[in-house]
Amino acid sequence: MKLLKDRILAEGKALSDSVLKVDGFLNHQVDPELMQAVGLDFCEHFKDYGITRVLTIESSGIAPAVYTAQALNVPMVILKKQTSKILNGQVFQTNITSFTKGTSYELTLSRDYIHRDDRVLIIDDFLANGEAATGAARLVQMAGATVAGIGILIEKSFQNGRSRLEQAGFDVYSQARISRLGEGIIEYLE
């Protein structure tokens, strides 16, 4: 998606060969016009997949996921990184490790917001090693629902996330595929 790629080049900060900072429009401050364009692009790509729910992990995936859900006219569900005391065990849970933070956490999905006949689109801000998307997909499968697709804003194509997800049989669509990062260097896959 050209608009997102241009914004990454203009405002993104490559801090190392694996860290890209995009907090000016996605992770800390959100540009709603850009997120609306992102949502419309995901909608266009996945419009014929029979999506009944959009799912994302808190917190950076929320803005693009809500615009995607709005464009698809379906509910958006947020996977929690901490178990709520009011969910009373009515949840699906799986453990995942964040590549960026190097920490593990319990990913939680309330049983109230997914059904066996759902066709779920998972939206995530970054794809590195695929751990977050794989964890989200596990929760969808635990519920007996179907992962219809995975939408990624920024893919680090030099890491193994895409191949891991595709080997598991998931359809992956990334809006910006980065082939190389380095201090001050951002290059896209052609």
DSSP labels for 2-29? Answer: HHHHHHHHHH-EE-SSS-EE-IIIIISS
Give the C-alpha separation, 8 to 26, whole Å: 10
Q: Is 27 annotated as a binding residue?
A: yes
DSSP labels for 139-159? Answer: HHHHTT-EEEEEEEEEEETTS
Q: Is 160 annotated as a binding residue?
A: no
Q: Is 65 annotated as a binding residue?
A: no
Q: Is 129 annotated as a binding residue?
A: yes
Q: Is the peptide bond before 59 cis (omega within 30 degrees of 0)?
A: yes
Q: Is 5 annotated as a binding residue?
A: no
User: Which candidate, 138, 172, 136, 145, places its Cα nearest to that of 156?
Assistant: 172
Q: Is 73 annotated as a binding residue?
A: no
Q: Is 106 annotated as a binding residue?
A: no
Annotated binding site for xanthine: 20, 27, 156
Annotated binding site for 5-phospho-alpha-D-ribose 1-diphosphate: 128-132
Annotated binding site: 20, 27, 128-132, 156
